[in-house]
Amino acid sequence: MKQKINSRPQAGFTLVEMSIVLVIIGLILGAVSIGKDLQRDAEYNKIKQKFVDQWVQSYNTYYQRAGVVVGDSQSQPRFMVNGEDYAASAGDPTSGGNMTAVTPPNAICQGALGPKMDRANADADLHALFDRLGIRMPPGRAEGLEDRYLYLDTNGNPQELQVCFQWNAPGSREGAGNVMVITGLTPDLARVLDQTIDGKADAREGLFRQQGVANGVGGEAGIEWDGNNSQDEQANDNGDATNTADNQDEDQVITLVAIYKMNQ
């Protein structure tokens, strides 16, 4: 007896079905890409609210409790960060001295200066000053590392923010007065913070500026922050983001230094 052969042709995917599958794949890939951007935006907002804003609040709390800015003398205030260690012979703002050419006092950090900071030296007693007045610092990276914050750059590599405080003499390129210095900012993070703090990303105007960028002439248009996320970090980079080398996935993104002017 002959076996009956099924003469029905084998069914395959139609063009419509293949198109639907490709559309679904595209939607999934797009959702993954958007999800990464949303996650990064959420991390940047967290850095602004949980780290930068809280350090500004801690600084203002210090002023309210001590009556002077961080590291200044309560008996002979000079209205400058670390003013207690400032040499009066170099010029005293309370006596009308000319402060333009004065060498500023050391910055106040916890440990060494932040990477790429312009200041030559730092006094490593930031935590001790706040602890002395019982001021709670932001959680930061960990206990004892409240001045640091760890995050991932766009290549997925770790970057560390660090906070220091210092006084800039009149005529300083990025503005005079008491400032918070934030190191370890990738270019996109610096722009996001500037946008949220000043309303626009401008490297030389407003409260949030790039270190070393001169304020220029009043009334002129601002300038963009140096660097972008296609540039990699180099050990010999001086922070002006002139490095034009394209980064690889394994490279750290180039980092910048920001100056955040305090209101006291």
The rounded average pLDDT for each run of 10 residues, N- to C-terminus, in the chain (264 residues) is 55 71 70 64 93 97 96 91 72 58 88 93 92 94 94 92 95 91 96 95 93 79 87 62 62 94 94
Residue 141: inside a domain, yes or no? yes
Neighbours of 23 (CB within 10 A): 10
Give the pLDDT score at 32: 57
**Tokens standing for residue 195:** 């946008």
Residue 100: inside a domain, yes or no? yes
Q: Which of 168, 169, 148 is nearest to 159 (CA)?
A: 148
Residue 3: inside a domain, yes or no? no
Give the pLDDT score at 225: 94
- CA distances from residue 214 to 30, 126, 221, 264 in whole angstroms, order as listed: 41, 28, 13, 22
Residue 28: inside a domain, yes or no? yes
> Rounded to a whole number, what is the distance in angstroms from the first to the last CA of the chain?
103
Give the pLDDT score at 253: 92
Residue 2: inside a domain, yes or no? no
Residue 99: inside a domain, yes or no? yes
Residue 4: inside a domain, yes or no? no
Residue 141: domain span: 17-261
How many distinct structural domains can be found in the chain?
1
Q: Which of 195, 208, 164, 190 is nearest to 254 (CA)?
A: 190
Cα–Cα dist 169/108, whole Å? 15
Give the pLDDT score at 22: 76
For residue 35, give the H/E element and its range: helix 15-47
Residue 9: inside a domain, yes or no? no
Can you give the pTM of this predicted structure?
Answer: 0.82
